Chain A
Protein backbone atom coordinates (compact mmCIF):
# COMPACT_ATOMS: atom_id res chain seq x y z
CA UNK A 1 0.00 0.00 0.00
CA UNK A 2 1.15 3.51 -0.79
CA UNK A 3 2.20 5.49 2.27
CA UNK A 4 0.14 8.52 3.28
CA UNK A 5 1.57 11.79 1.92
CA UNK A 6 4.19 13.46 4.07
CA UNK A 7 4.49 17.24 3.85
CA UNK A 8 7.85 18.69 2.87
CA UNK A 9 8.62 22.01 4.57
CA UNK A 10 9.99 25.06 2.80
CA UNK A 11 12.07 27.69 4.63
CA UNK A 12 8.91 29.79 5.07
CA UNK A 13 6.92 26.96 6.63
CA UNK A 14 9.66 25.25 8.67
CA UNK A 15 8.72 27.02 11.96
CA UNK A 16 5.17 25.64 11.64
CA UNK A 17 6.41 22.07 11.32
CA UNK A 18 9.03 22.59 14.05
CA UNK A 19 6.16 23.74 16.27
CA UNK A 20 4.10 20.64 15.51
CA UNK A 21 7.08 18.43 16.40
CA UNK A 22 7.32 20.32 19.71
CA UNK A 23 3.60 19.87 20.40
CA UNK A 24 2.78 23.52 19.65
CA UNK A 25 0.51 25.00 17.00
CA UNK A 26 2.62 27.91 15.76
CA UNK A 27 1.09 30.38 13.34
CA UNK A 28 1.99 33.91 12.30
CA UNK A 29 0.71 37.37 13.06
CA UNK A 30 1.41 40.82 11.73
CA UNK A 31 3.31 43.17 14.04
CA UNK A 32 1.91 46.12 12.09
CA UNK A 33 -1.85 45.36 12.04
CA UNK A 34 -1.84 42.58 14.69
CA UNK A 35 -3.87 40.19 12.54
CA UNK A 36 -3.05 36.47 12.93
CA UNK A 37 -2.87 34.45 9.72
CA UNK A 38 -2.33 31.03 8.18
CA UNK A 39 -0.97 29.45 5.89
CA UNK A 40 2.64 30.46 6.52
CA UNK A 41 4.15 33.21 4.36
CA UNK A 42 6.58 36.05 4.92
CA UNK A 43 4.07 38.85 4.36
CA UNK A 44 0.85 39.87 6.08
CA UNK A 45 -2.12 39.15 3.78
CA UNK A 46 -4.20 41.82 5.53
CA UNK A 47 -1.89 44.84 5.23
CA UNK A 48 1.15 43.77 3.19
CA UNK A 49 3.66 44.31 5.99
CA UNK A 50 6.73 42.08 6.10
CA UNK A 51 7.06 42.81 9.80
CA UNK A 52 5.55 39.49 10.94
CA UNK A 53 6.22 37.06 13.79
CA UNK A 54 5.49 33.50 14.83
CA UNK A 55 3.49 32.77 17.98
CA UNK A 56 1.97 29.71 19.62
CA UNK A 57 -1.78 29.55 19.14
CA UNK A 58 -4.06 28.27 21.87
CA UNK A 59 -4.85 25.08 19.98
CA UNK A 60 -8.57 25.72 20.55
CA UNK A 61 -10.81 25.65 17.49
CA UNK A 62 -14.34 25.00 16.26
CA UNK A 63 -15.53 22.82 13.40
CA UNK A 64 -16.18 25.08 10.41
CA UNK A 65 -17.04 22.53 7.71
CA UNK A 66 -16.11 19.06 6.45
CA UNK A 67 -16.72 16.23 4.04
CA UNK A 68 -16.64 12.52 4.83
CA UNK A 69 -14.58 10.99 2.05
CA UNK A 70 -15.68 7.62 0.70
CA UNK A 71 -13.05 7.40 -2.09
CA UNK A 72 -9.84 7.12 -0.08
CA UNK A 73 -6.69 8.88 -1.18
CA UNK A 74 -3.65 6.61 -1.69
CA UNK A 75 -2.53 5.50 1.76
CA UNK A 76 -5.93 6.00 3.37
CA UNK A 77 -7.52 2.79 2.07
CA UNK A 78 -7.68 1.12 5.49
CA UNK A 79 -9.18 4.11 7.29
CA UNK A 80 -12.79 3.66 6.20
CA UNK A 81 -14.75 6.79 5.36
CA UNK A 82 -12.82 9.66 6.93
CA UNK A 83 -13.61 13.29 7.56
CA UNK A 84 -11.54 16.00 5.91
CA UNK A 85 -12.32 19.03 8.01
CA UNK A 86 -11.67 22.75 8.05
CA UNK A 87 -11.44 24.17 11.55
CA UNK A 88 -11.53 27.75 12.71
CA UNK A 89 -8.84 28.49 15.27
CA UNK A 90 -9.79 30.57 18.30
CA UNK A 91 -7.37 33.18 16.93
CA UNK A 92 -9.34 33.41 13.65
CA UNK A 93 -7.42 31.64 10.87
CA UNK A 94 -8.67 28.37 9.43
CA UNK A 95 -6.84 25.19 8.49
CA UNK A 96 -7.60 21.81 6.98
CA UNK A 97 -7.20 18.82 9.26
CA UNK A 98 -8.59 15.44 10.29
CA UNK A 99 -10.75 14.70 13.31
CA UNK A 100 -9.58 12.08 15.79
CA UNK A 101 -11.11 10.66 18.96
CA UNK A 102 -14.62 10.86 17.51
CA UNK A 103 -16.48 8.63 15.05
CA UNK A 104 -16.31 10.33 11.65
CA UNK A 105 -20.06 10.31 11.03
CA UNK A 106 -22.50 13.16 10.34
CA UNK A 107 -24.23 12.48 13.67
CA UNK A 108 -21.02 12.90 15.64
CA UNK A 109 -19.54 15.78 13.67
CA UNK A 110 -21.63 18.85 14.41
CA UNK A 111 -20.59 22.15 12.92
CA UNK A 112 -19.22 24.65 15.45
CA UNK A 113 -18.40 21.92 18.00
CA UNK A 114 -15.38 22.85 20.13
CA UNK A 115 -12.09 21.13 19.29
CA UNK A 116 -8.52 21.13 20.50
CA UNK A 117 -5.33 20.36 18.61
CA UNK A 118 -3.39 17.14 18.96
CA UNK A 119 -0.35 15.98 17.02
CA UNK A 120 0.17 12.72 15.14
CA UNK A 121 3.45 11.46 13.70
CA UNK A 122 3.63 11.02 9.93
CA UNK A 123 7.06 10.07 8.56
CA UNK A 124 9.54 12.55 9.94
CA UNK A 125 6.95 15.19 10.82
CA UNK A 126 3.96 15.66 13.10
CA UNK A 127 0.57 16.63 11.70
CA UNK A 128 -1.88 18.88 13.54
CA UNK A 129 -5.15 16.99 14.03
CA UNK A 130 -8.14 18.04 16.10
CA UNK A 131 -10.27 16.22 18.66
CA UNK A 132 -13.47 17.19 20.48
CA UNK A 133 -12.71 19.53 23.37
CA UNK A 134 -15.51 18.05 25.51
CA UNK A 135 -13.46 14.88 25.80
CA UNK A 136 -10.76 16.88 27.48
CA UNK A 137 -13.30 18.52 29.79
CA UNK A 138 -14.76 15.14 30.74
CA UNK A 139 -11.32 13.64 31.31
CA UNK A 140 -10.44 16.53 33.61
CA UNK A 141 -13.72 16.18 35.49
CA UNK A 142 -12.89 12.47 35.90
CA UNK A 143 -9.43 13.32 37.21
CA UNK A 144 -10.93 15.71 39.73
CA UNK A 145 -13.14 12.99 41.14
Chain B
Protein backbone atom coordinates (compact mmCIF):
# COMPACT_ATOMS: atom_id res chain seq x y z
CA UNK B 1 0.00 0.00 0.00
CA UNK B 2 1.61 3.22 -1.10
CA UNK B 3 1.58 6.09 1.36
CA UNK B 4 2.53 8.81 -1.06
CA UNK B 5 1.27 12.32 -0.36
CA UNK B 6 -2.47 12.47 -0.94
CA UNK B 7 -4.34 14.46 -3.53
CA UNK B 8 -7.72 16.14 -3.19
CA UNK B 9 -10.45 17.64 -5.30
CA UNK B 10 -10.59 21.14 -3.78
CA UNK B 11 -13.15 22.60 -6.16
CA UNK B 12 -15.84 21.17 -8.41
CA UNK B 13 -18.63 22.84 -10.35
CA UNK B 14 -20.76 22.65 -13.46
CA UNK B 15 -21.94 25.38 -15.82
CA UNK B 16 -24.76 27.53 -14.45
CA UNK B 17 -27.16 25.55 -16.61
CA UNK B 18 -27.05 22.24 -18.46
CA UNK B 19 -29.44 21.39 -21.31
CA UNK B 20 -30.05 23.31 -24.51
CA UNK B 21 -27.69 26.30 -24.49
CA UNK B 22 -27.37 27.72 -28.02
CA UNK B 23 -25.94 30.95 -26.58
CA UNK B 24 -22.75 29.18 -25.48
CA UNK B 25 -19.86 28.00 -27.63
CA UNK B 26 -17.87 24.92 -26.62
CA UNK B 27 -15.13 27.22 -25.31
CA UNK B 28 -17.59 29.40 -23.39
CA UNK B 29 -18.85 26.29 -21.59
CA UNK B 30 -15.28 25.41 -20.56
CA UNK B 31 -14.72 28.95 -19.34
CA UNK B 32 -17.89 29.18 -17.27
CA UNK B 33 -17.28 25.79 -15.68
CA UNK B 34 -13.66 26.71 -14.92
CA UNK B 35 -14.59 30.02 -13.32
CA UNK B 36 -17.25 28.28 -11.22
CA UNK B 37 -14.85 25.53 -10.06
CA UNK B 38 -12.06 27.93 -9.12
CA UNK B 39 -14.55 30.05 -7.19
CA UNK B 40 -15.91 26.88 -5.52
CA UNK B 41 -12.39 26.20 -4.22
CA UNK B 42 -12.07 29.79 -3.04
CA UNK B 43 -9.05 30.34 -5.30
CA UNK B 44 -8.15 32.80 -8.04
CA UNK B 45 -7.30 31.79 -11.61
CA UNK B 46 -3.67 32.89 -11.00
CA UNK B 47 -3.38 30.06 -8.47
CA UNK B 48 -3.77 27.46 -11.25
CA UNK B 49 -0.48 26.15 -12.66
CA UNK B 50 -1.64 23.01 -14.47
CA UNK B 51 -4.33 22.50 -17.12
CA UNK B 52 -6.01 19.36 -18.43
CA UNK B 53 -8.82 18.92 -20.92
CA UNK B 54 -9.66 16.88 -24.01
CA UNK B 55 -7.96 17.52 -27.35
CA UNK B 56 -10.74 19.77 -28.69
CA UNK B 57 -10.74 22.68 -28.01
CA UNK B 58 -7.65 21.60 -26.13
CA UNK B 59 -5.67 22.70 -23.09
CA UNK B 60 -3.83 25.48 -24.89
CA UNK B 61 -7.01 27.25 -25.97
CA UNK B 62 -8.64 26.81 -22.57
CA UNK B 63 -5.55 27.99 -20.66
CA UNK B 64 -5.17 30.96 -22.97
CA UNK B 65 -8.83 31.92 -22.60
CA UNK B 66 -8.52 31.86 -18.81
CA UNK B 67 -5.13 33.58 -18.62
CA UNK B 68 -3.53 30.51 -17.07
CA UNK B 69 0.25 30.11 -17.48
CA UNK B 70 0.66 26.33 -17.18
CA UNK B 71 3.78 24.49 -16.15
CA UNK B 72 2.00 21.19 -16.71
CA UNK B 73 -0.37 20.28 -19.59
CA UNK B 74 -2.48 17.19 -20.30
CA UNK B 75 -4.55 16.93 -23.47
CA UNK B 76 -5.62 13.31 -23.10
CA UNK B 77 -8.69 12.95 -25.31
CA UNK B 78 -10.02 9.42 -25.15
CA UNK B 79 -13.74 10.14 -25.00
CA UNK B 80 -16.09 10.65 -22.09
CA UNK B 81 -13.82 9.15 -19.46
CA UNK B 82 -10.97 11.57 -20.28
CA UNK B 83 -11.69 13.76 -17.24
CA UNK B 84 -11.26 10.80 -14.89
CA UNK B 85 -7.90 10.16 -16.54
CA UNK B 86 -7.03 13.85 -16.16
CA UNK B 87 -7.62 13.54 -12.41
CA UNK B 88 -5.36 10.48 -12.34
CA UNK B 89 -2.63 12.19 -14.36
CA UNK B 90 -2.95 15.37 -12.30
CA UNK B 91 -2.54 13.35 -9.09
CA UNK B 92 0.71 11.91 -10.44
CA UNK B 93 1.92 15.34 -11.57
CA UNK B 94 1.16 16.91 -8.19
CA UNK B 95 2.98 14.09 -6.38
CA UNK B 96 5.93 14.55 -8.73
CA UNK B 97 6.02 18.29 -8.13
CA UNK B 98 5.25 19.16 -11.76
CA UNK B 99 2.21 21.17 -10.74
CA UNK B 100 0.63 22.37 -7.51
CA UNK B 101 -2.95 23.21 -8.49
CA UNK B 102 -4.45 21.65 -11.62
CA UNK B 103 -7.64 22.71 -13.37
CA UNK B 104 -9.54 20.02 -15.31
CA UNK B 105 -12.23 21.37 -17.63
CA UNK B 106 -15.07 20.00 -19.72
CA UNK B 107 -17.36 21.93 -22.03
CA UNK B 108 -19.37 20.52 -24.89
CA UNK B 109 -22.02 21.96 -27.15
CA UNK B 110 -23.25 18.45 -27.81
CA UNK B 111 -26.77 19.44 -28.72
CA UNK B 112 -26.43 22.92 -30.22
CA UNK B 113 -23.01 22.20 -31.83
CA UNK B 114 -21.79 25.80 -31.36
CA UNK B 115 -18.04 25.95 -31.98
CA UNK B 116 -17.97 22.14 -31.86
CA UNK B 117 -15.48 19.88 -33.62
CA UNK B 118 -16.67 17.68 -36.53
CA UNK B 119 -18.57 14.62 -35.39
CA UNK B 120 -17.37 11.99 -37.84
CA UNK B 121 -13.96 10.63 -38.74
CA UNK B 122 -12.21 10.27 -42.06
CA UNK B 123 -13.29 7.56 -44.55
CA UNK B 124 -9.73 6.21 -44.40
CA UNK B 125 -9.76 5.78 -40.59
CA UNK B 126 -10.39 2.24 -39.31
CA UNK B 127 -14.00 3.12 -38.45
CA UNK B 128 -14.36 4.94 -41.77
CA UNK B 129 -13.35 1.78 -43.62
CA UNK B 130 -14.81 -1.00 -41.49
CA UNK B 131 -17.85 0.44 -39.70
CA UNK B 132 -19.28 3.58 -41.34
CA UNK B 133 -19.91 1.90 -44.74
CA UNK B 134 -22.34 -0.42 -42.92
CA UNK B 135 -24.55 2.46 -41.83
CA UNK B 136 -23.31 3.31 -38.37
CA UNK B 137 -24.63 6.66 -37.21
CA UNK B 138 -23.03 7.60 -33.92
CA UNK B 139 -23.08 5.76 -30.61
CA UNK B 140 -26.72 4.61 -30.88
CA UNK B 141 -25.59 2.21 -33.61
CA UNK B 142 -22.24 1.12 -32.20
CA UNK B 143 -22.17 1.28 -28.39
CA UNK B 144 -25.47 -0.65 -28.36
CA UNK B 145 -24.35 -3.55 -30.53
CA UNK B 146 -22.97 -5.66 -27.69
CA UNK B 147 -26.30 -5.93 -25.88
CA UNK B 148 -28.01 -8.73 -27.82
CA UNK B 149 -24.98 -10.97 -27.29
CA UNK B 150 -25.11 -10.28 -23.55
CA UNK B 151 -28.86 -10.89 -23.49
CA UNK B 152 -28.51 -14.27 -25.21
CA UNK B 153 -25.55 -15.45 -23.14
CA UNK B 154 -26.79 -14.29 -19.72
CA UNK B 155 -30.57 -14.15 -20.05
CA UNK B 156 -30.94 -10.40 -19.55
CA UNK B 157 -34.52 -9.55 -20.50
CA UNK B 158 -35.84 -6.55 -22.40
CA UNK B 159 -37.74 -5.62 -19.23
CA UNK B 160 -34.57 -5.68 -17.11
CA UNK B 161 -32.77 -3.51 -19.66
CA UNK B 162 -35.69 -1.07 -19.60
CA UNK B 163 -35.66 -1.02 -15.81
CA UNK B 164 -32.23 0.65 -15.78
CA UNK B 165 -33.93 3.77 -17.17
CA UNK B 166 -36.78 3.45 -14.66
CA UNK B 167 -34.39 3.26 -11.69
CA UNK B 168 -32.41 6.28 -12.80
CA UNK B 169 -35.52 8.34 -13.43
CA UNK B 170 -36.36 7.84 -9.75
CA UNK B 171 -33.12 9.63 -8.87
CA UNK B 172 -33.71 12.33 -11.49
CA UNK B 173 -37.11 13.06 -9.94
CA UNK B 174 -35.20 14.38 -6.90
CA UNK B 175 -32.83 16.56 -8.93
CA UNK B 176 -34.23 19.95 -10.05
CA UNK B 177 -31.47 20.28 -12.67
CA UNK B 178 -32.33 16.99 -14.36
CA UNK B 179 -33.68 17.24 -17.91
CA UNK B 180 -36.33 14.54 -17.34
CA UNK B 181 -37.97 14.14 -13.92
CA UNK B 182 -41.39 12.57 -14.50
CA UNK B 183 -41.66 8.95 -13.31
CA UNK B 184 -41.60 6.27 -16.00
CA UNK B 185 -42.45 2.56 -16.02
CA UNK B 186 -40.96 -0.40 -17.85
CA UNK B 187 -43.99 -0.28 -20.16
CA UNK B 188 -43.28 3.39 -20.94
CA UNK B 189 -39.70 2.52 -21.84
CA UNK B 190 -40.68 -0.40 -24.05
CA UNK B 191 -43.41 1.72 -25.71
CA UNK B 192 -40.98 4.53 -26.57
CA UNK B 193 -39.84 4.42 -30.17
CA UNK B 194 -37.12 2.06 -31.28
CA UNK B 195 -33.80 3.77 -31.91
CA UNK B 196 -31.62 0.73 -32.57
CA UNK B 197 -33.23 -2.58 -31.58
CA UNK B 198 -33.10 -3.66 -28.80
CA UNK B 199 -32.76 -0.04 -27.59
CA UNK B 200 -35.74 2.28 -27.28
CA UNK B 201 -35.53 6.05 -26.94
CA UNK B 202 -35.73 5.98 -23.14
CA UNK B 203 -32.82 3.53 -22.99
CA UNK B 204 -30.58 6.06 -24.77
CA UNK B 205 -28.93 9.09 -23.17
CA UNK B 206 -29.86 12.69 -23.71
CA UNK B 207 -27.82 14.95 -25.96
CA UNK B 208 -27.20 18.26 -24.23
CA UNK B 209 -24.92 21.26 -23.83
CA UNK B 210 -22.97 21.93 -20.65
CA UNK B 211 -19.69 21.74 -18.85
CA UNK B 212 -17.94 21.07 -15.59
CA UNK B 213 -14.54 21.59 -14.00
CA UNK B 214 -12.40 20.41 -11.10
CA UNK B 215 -9.53 21.88 -9.08
CA UNK B 216 -6.99 19.24 -7.99
CA UNK B 217 -4.23 19.86 -5.46
CA UNK B 218 -2.25 18.16 -2.69
CA UNK B 219 -3.99 16.84 0.41
CA UNK B 220 -1.65 18.74 2.75
CA UNK B 221 -3.73 21.78 1.82
CA UNK B 222 -7.04 20.14 2.83
CA UNK B 223 -8.88 22.60 5.06
CA UNK B 224 -7.48 25.63 3.22
CA UNK B 225 -10.40 25.80 0.81
CA UNK B 226 -13.94 27.05 0.77
CA UNK B 227 -15.50 23.60 0.50
CA UNK B 228 -14.77 20.23 2.20
CA UNK B 229 -11.90 18.36 0.55
CA UNK B 230 -12.69 15.20 -1.41
CA UNK B 231 -9.74 12.83 -1.28
CA UNK B 232 -8.61 10.97 -4.40
CA UNK B 233 -7.88 7.56 -2.88
CA UNK B 234 -7.37 5.45 -5.96
CA UNK B 235 -7.41 5.76 -9.73
CA UNK B 236 -7.27 3.47 -12.75
CA UNK B 237 -7.35 3.65 -16.53
CA UNK B 238 -7.26 1.30 -19.49
CA UNK B 239 -8.20 0.95 -23.15
CA UNK B 240 -9.43 -1.85 -25.35
CA UNK B 241 -10.45 -1.24 -28.99
CA UNK B 242 -11.17 1.87 -31.07
CA UNK B 243 -13.99 0.02 -32.89
CA UNK B 244 -16.77 -1.75 -31.01
CA UNK B 245 -16.58 -4.66 -33.48
CA UNK B 246 -13.09 -5.45 -32.20
CA UNK B 247 -13.84 -5.86 -28.48
CA UNK B 248 -12.60 -9.24 -27.30
CA UNK B 249 -15.89 -10.19 -25.59
CA UNK B 250 -19.23 -8.45 -26.12
CA UNK B 251 -20.43 -9.49 -22.66
CA UNK B 252 -17.87 -7.53 -20.67
CA UNK B 253 -15.68 -4.43 -20.70
CA UNK B 254 -12.04 -5.27 -20.18
CA UNK B 255 -11.15 -1.58 -19.87
CA UNK B 256 -13.75 -1.08 -17.10
CA UNK B 257 -12.51 -4.16 -15.26
CA UNK B 258 -8.81 -3.28 -15.41
CA UNK B 259 -9.37 0.37 -14.48
CA UNK B 260 -11.49 -0.73 -11.53
CA UNK B 261 -8.96 -3.27 -10.30
CA UNK B 262 -6.20 -0.66 -10.36
CA UNK B 263 -8.26 1.97 -8.55
CA UNK B 264 -9.59 -0.37 -5.86
CA UNK B 265 -6.11 -1.80 -5.23
CA UNK B 266 -4.55 1.65 -4.90
CA UNK B 267 -7.28 2.75 -2.49
CA UNK B 268 -7.08 -0.53 -0.59
CA UNK B 269 -10.85 -0.97 -0.68
CA UNK B 270 -13.35 -3.62 -1.70
CA UNK B 271 -16.87 -3.31 -3.07
CA UNK B 272 -18.29 -3.54 0.47
CA UNK B 273 -16.64 -0.21 1.34
CA UNK B 274 -18.46 1.71 -1.40
CA UNK B 275 -21.43 3.80 -0.29
CA UNK B 276 -22.16 5.55 -3.58
CA UNK B 277 -21.44 4.69 -7.20
CA UNK B 278 -21.53 6.57 -10.48
CA UNK B 279 -21.40 4.52 -13.70
CA UNK B 280 -21.27 6.22 -17.08
CA UNK B 281 -24.62 5.50 -18.70
CA UNK B 282 -24.76 6.52 -22.33
CA UNK B 283 -27.12 3.56 -22.82
CA UNK B 284 -29.06 1.36 -20.43
CA UNK B 285 -26.72 -1.63 -20.72
CA UNK B 286 -23.61 0.27 -19.64
CA UNK B 287 -24.43 0.30 -15.89
CA UNK B 288 -24.99 -3.46 -16.17
CA UNK B 289 -21.53 -3.95 -17.65
CA UNK B 290 -20.09 -1.53 -15.09
CA UNK B 291 -21.55 -3.22 -12.01
CA UNK B 292 -20.12 -6.55 -13.18
CA UNK B 293 -16.74 -5.13 -14.26
CA UNK B 294 -16.21 -3.57 -10.83
CA UNK B 295 -17.25 -6.77 -9.05
CA UNK B 296 -20.37 -5.48 -7.28
CA UNK B 297 -22.24 -8.49 -8.68
CA UNK B 298 -21.29 -11.65 -10.55
CA UNK B 299 -21.36 -12.01 -14.31
CA UNK B 300 -24.90 -11.99 -15.59
CA UNK B 301 -26.40 -10.76 -12.32
CA UNK B 302 -26.52 -6.99 -12.78
CA UNK B 303 -29.82 -6.80 -14.66
CA UNK B 304 -31.69 -8.55 -11.85
CA UNK B 305 -29.74 -6.55 -9.23
CA UNK B 306 -31.01 -3.28 -10.71
CA UNK B 307 -34.53 -4.60 -11.36
CA UNK B 308 -34.72 -5.70 -7.70
CA UNK B 309 -34.33 -2.05 -6.68
CA UNK B 310 -30.82 -2.18 -5.25
CA UNK B 311 -29.52 0.88 -7.10
CA UNK B 312 -32.53 3.24 -6.86
CA UNK B 313 -33.62 5.52 -4.00
CA UNK B 314 -33.92 3.36 -0.88
CA UNK B 315 -31.67 0.64 -2.34
CA UNK B 316 -28.50 -0.56 -0.69
CA UNK B 317 -26.13 0.69 -3.41
CA UNK B 318 -27.12 4.14 -4.73
CA UNK B 319 -26.07 4.38 -8.40
CA UNK B 320 -26.23 7.41 -10.71
CA UNK B 321 -27.92 9.63 -8.18
CA UNK B 322 -28.06 12.69 -10.45
CA UNK B 323 -30.29 10.73 -12.85
CA UNK B 324 -27.33 9.91 -15.10
CA UNK B 325 -26.91 10.42 -18.79
CA UNK B 326 -30.31 8.82 -19.29
CA UNK B 327 -32.24 11.50 -17.34
CA UNK B 328 -29.91 14.24 -16.02
CA UNK B 329 -27.66 15.42 -18.82
CA UNK B 330 -25.25 14.00 -21.41
CA UNK B 331 -23.12 16.38 -23.41
CA UNK B 332 -21.35 13.62 -25.33
CA UNK B 333 -18.40 13.25 -22.94
CA UNK B 334 -20.38 12.68 -19.76
CA UNK B 335 -17.59 11.64 -17.38
CA UNK B 336 -17.18 15.07 -15.82
CA UNK B 337 -20.79 15.04 -14.61
CA UNK B 338 -20.30 11.66 -12.93
CA UNK B 339 -17.34 13.15 -11.02
CA UNK B 340 -19.15 16.35 -10.00
CA UNK B 341 -22.09 14.32 -8.65
CA UNK B 342 -19.73 12.06 -6.67
CA UNK B 343 -18.05 15.16 -5.20
CA UNK B 344 -21.43 16.57 -4.18
CA UNK B 345 -22.41 13.29 -2.52
CA UNK B 346 -19.15 13.00 -0.58
CA UNK B 347 -19.49 16.61 0.54
CA UNK B 348 -23.10 15.98 1.52
CA UNK B 349 -24.56 18.63 -0.78
CA UNK B 350 -26.22 16.65 -3.59
CA UNK B 351 -29.80 17.29 -4.72
CA UNK B 352 -30.65 13.63 -4.09
CA UNK B 353 -28.28 13.25 -1.15
CA UNK B 354 -27.76 9.69 0.09
CA UNK B 355 -26.44 8.85 3.54
CA UNK B 356 -23.15 10.72 3.18
CA UNK B 357 -20.78 8.11 1.77
CA UNK B 358 -17.28 7.59 3.15
CA UNK B 359 -16.34 6.22 -0.27
CA UNK B 360 -17.78 7.06 -3.69
CA UNK B 361 -16.60 5.34 -6.87
CA UNK B 362 -16.84 6.81 -10.36
CA UNK B 363 -16.58 4.63 -13.49
CA UNK B 364 -16.12 6.44 -16.79
CA UNK B 365 -16.40 5.18 -20.34
CA UNK B 366 -14.76 6.56 -23.47
CA UNK B 367 -15.98 5.86 -26.99
CA UNK B 368 -17.94 2.62 -27.11
CA UNK B 369 -16.23 0.60 -24.36
CA UNK B 370 -13.00 1.86 -25.96
CA UNK B 371 -11.57 3.25 -22.74
CA UNK B 372 -12.30 3.05 -19.04
CA UNK B 373 -11.39 5.17 -16.05
CA UNK B 374 -12.16 4.74 -12.36
CA UNK B 375 -11.81 7.11 -9.41
CA UNK B 376 -12.18 6.13 -5.76
CA UNK B 377 -13.10 9.28 -3.81
CA UNK B 378 -13.34 9.61 -0.04
CA UNK B 379 -14.22 11.98 2.79
CA UNK B 380 -11.01 11.12 4.61
CA UNK B 381 -7.45 10.46 3.49
CA UNK B 382 -6.60 6.78 3.36
The chain A residues found within 8 Å of chain B, CB to CB, are 4-10, 13, 38-39, 64-76, 79, 81-82, 84-86, 94-98, 106, 111, 122, 127
Question: Contact partner of A86 among B133, B145, B199, CB < 8 A?
Answer: B145
**Are A65 and B135 interface neighbours, CB within 8 A?**
no
In this complex, which of B129, B134, B137, B141 has the most chain A Cβ atoms within 10 angstroms of its Cβ? B134
Report 20 cross-chain contacts, Cβ distance below 8 Å, ordered by A residue: A6-B133, A9-B129, A10-B129, A65-B149, A65-B250, A67-B196, A67-B197, A67-B198, A67-B199, A68-B194, A70-B195, A70-B196, A76-B135, A84-B134, A85-B134, A94-B246, A96-B243, A97-B134, A106-B197, A122-B133
- Contact check, A7 vs B123: say whether CB atoms are below 8 A apart: yes
Residues of B within 8 A of A72 (CB): 135, 137
Is the Cβ of B196 less than 8 Å from the Cβ of A68? yes
Residues of B206-260 whose CB lies within 8 A of A: 243-246, 250
Closest approach, in angstroms, between the C-beta of B136 and any C-beta of chain A? 6
Please give the distance in Å from B288's CB to the nearest CB on chain A: 15
A74 to B140 alpha-carbon distance, docked (Å): 14
In the complex, the answer to whether B130 meets A5 with C-beta atoms within 8 Å is no
Residues from chain A with a CB closer than 8 A to the CB of B142 are 84
Chain A min CB distance to B165 (Å): 17
Bin chain B's interface residue count.
35 or more
Cβ-neighbour of B126 out of A39, A73, A74, A76 (below 8 A):
A39
Complex CA–CA separation, A129 to B82 (angstroms) = 35
B141 touches A67 (CB 8 A): yes
Q: Could you tell me the distance between the alpha carbons of A71 and B142 in the complex, rounded to whole angstroms?
A: 13
How far is B126's CA from A95's CA once the two chains are assembled, in angstroms? 12
For chains A and B in complex, what number of residue pairs have CB atoms within 8 angstroms? 117
Q: A5, B128: Cβ atoms under 8 Å?
A: yes
A86 touches B141 (CB 8 A): no
Give the most central of B137, B195, B244: most A CB within 10 Å: B137
Is B15 engaged at the interface, CB distance under 8 Å to the other chain?
A: no
Contact residues of B: prevailing secondary structure: helix
Q: Select A8's contact among B124, B197, B245, beta carbons within 8 Å.
A: B124
B126 close to A71 (CB less than 8 A):
no
A7 near B149 (CB under 8 angstroms)? no
The CB with the most chain A CB atoms within 10 A, among B128, B145, B146, B245, is that of: B245
Bound form: Cα–Cα A82–B195 in Å:
11
| A73 touching B136, Cβ below 8 Å | yes
- What 3 A-B pairs have minimum CB-CB distances, sorted nearest first? A73-B137, A65-B149, A68-B197
Q: Which residues of A contact B243 (CB under 8 A)?
A: 39, 96
CA distance A73 to B120 in the complex (A): 12
Q: State A64–B244 Cα separation when bound (angstroms).
A: 12
Closest to B124 in A: A8
Interface assignment of B131: CB less than 8 Å from any CB of chain A: yes
Q: Is the CB of A5 within 8 A of B132?
A: yes
A10 vs B122: C-alpha distance in the bound complex, in angstroms? 11
The answer to whether B245 touches A96, judged by C-beta atoms less than 8 angstroms apart, is yes
What A residues does B132 contact at CB under 8 A? 5, 7, 73
A71–chain B nearest beta-carbon distance, Å = 6
B135 close to A95 (CB less than 8 A): no
Cβ-defined contact, B140 with A5, below 8 A: no
Determine if B145 and A9 form an interchain contact, defined as CB atoms under 8 angstroms apart. no
Residues of chain A with a CB closer than 8 A to B130's CB: 7, 39, 95-96
Measured between beta carbons, the chain B residues less than 8 angstroms from A68 are: 194, 196-197
**Are B137 and A39 in contact, CB atoms less than 8 angstroms apart?**
no
Of chain A, the residue at the smallest CB distance from B150 is A65
Q: For the complex, is B64 an interface residue (Cβ under 8 Å from A)?
A: no
| A71 to B194 alpha-carbon distance, docked (Å) | 9
Q: Is B371 an interface residue (CB 8 A)?
A: no
Question: Could you tell me if A66 and B145 are in contact, using CB atoms closer than 8 angstroms?
Answer: yes
Q: Is the CB–CB distance between B193 and A70 below 8 Å? A: yes
Chain B, Cβ-Cβ closest to A67: B196
B144 within 8 Å of A by Cβ?
A: yes
* Other-chain residue from B135, B149, B246 in contact with A73 (beta carbon distance below 8 A): B135
Beyond A71-B195, A96-B130, 4 additional pairs, beta carbon < 8 A: A4-B133, A69-B196, A82-B135, A96-B243
Alpha-carbon distance A32/B318, docked complex (angstroms): 49
Asked whether, in the complex, the Cβ of B137 is within 8 Å of the Cβ of A96, the reply is: no
Q: Which residues of chain B from 134 to 160 have any CB-CB distance to chain A below 8 Å in the complex?
A: 134-137, 140-142, 144-149, 152
Task: Name the residue on A nearest B146 (C-beta).
Answer: A65
Shortest CB-to-CB span from A96 to chain B, Å, is 4
**Which B residues touch A9, using CB under 8 A?**
124, 129
Point out the residues of chain A lying under 8 angstroms from B146, CB to CB: 65
Residues of B within 8 A of A67 (CB): 141, 144-145, 147-148, 196-199
Chain B residue with Cβ nearest A109: B148
Given A69-B135, A86-B250, A127-B133: A10 and B124 within 8 A (CB)? yes
**A8, A76, A97, A106: which contacts B122 (Cβ < 8 A)?**
A8
Considering only CB atoms, which chain A residue lies closest to B142 in the complex? A84
